[in-house]
Amino acid sequence: MTITAPDLRIRAWRDLDPRARDLPGMSLGSLPVTPQTQDVGRLWALGVRHAELDTAVDLSAGAPAAQRGAVDRLCLVRDLTARAVSVDWDLRLSPRESAHQWKVLSHLHPPRTITGLEDAAEALHAWRTRHYLCKLVWRQGPGFIQIRDRRWGDLRRFTADEPQYRESIALLDPGAHHADVPAEVLEEFTAEHLVLRVGDLAWWLPYRVSRWLQEAMAV
C-alpha cells in the first residue's frame, strides 16, 4: 500500500538576505508544494531564493503518514539546497538513533534548530560552520553515475555503470519502501551512508548536479 502525506506549503522570498525580505515585492507569500514531483524547478522559476518550511522534519515519528511527510520535506530541503536556495527548517531526531545522525544530513542547508540530541547545540554549530555546497552530490554521466561525498572530511568517490544503480536511485530519490529496491543495491548504498531509513521508507541523500558550482577538481 502506498502511503501519502498531504501537500505541504512554504513561505517564500526573492532574496536570502533577511534585511531585504521586508522590502516591497520580496515576499512571495505562502506557496503550495506537491511532494515527489520535482516541484523545485517551478519554485526557482517563480524567483524563490529563500524558503521556510511549514512544520518541523520529525524523524522520530512512528506513524507511516508522518514518516512520509518527513521524507517529503527532506526532499524539498535537499532539492532547494542543490539550487543554493536557503531554507529555514527545524529538525527533530530520534534519540534511539546514533548521536552522529546529523552528520548524515550535513550536506543539506543547516536547520534553525535540532531537537532530540543531548549535544544538539554543539551539533548545530558544527553543521552551520562546516557546511558548503556540493558536499554530497551525484551526477549522471554517459553510461555511469558518480557520487562525491565530503561529509566526513575527506573525498569519497563512488562510480557505477550497472543499470540497476540508476534504476534504484530513481526509486529512492523521492523515498521508497525499502522492499521495492533491490536488496543488494540498498545494502551497498546504506553501508556508504547514501540512504536514510525513515521507518519503512528509504530515501536518497545526495542531490544531483548538472554542473559544478566550483571547479570540478575543488569539489
pLDDT tens-place string over residues 119-132 = 899 999 999 999 99
Q: Is 3 a residue whose pLDDT tops 70? A: no
Concatenate the DSSP letters of all residues of 44-69 into one string: HHHT--EEEESS-EETT--SHHHHHH
The pLDDT assigned to 1 comes to 44
Question: What grid cell was written down for 143?
Answer: 553510461
User: What percent of the chain is predicted at pLDDT more than 70?
Assistant: 89
Q: pTM of the entire structure?
A: 0.91
Lowest mean pLDDT, pick from 30-39, 142-151, 156-165, 171-180: 30-39
Q: Which residues pair with 86 in a beta bridge?
A: 50
What does the chain come to in residues?
219
pLDDT, tens only, 27-36: 999 999 987 6
Beta carbons within 8 Å of 214's beta carbon, 6+ residues apart: 134
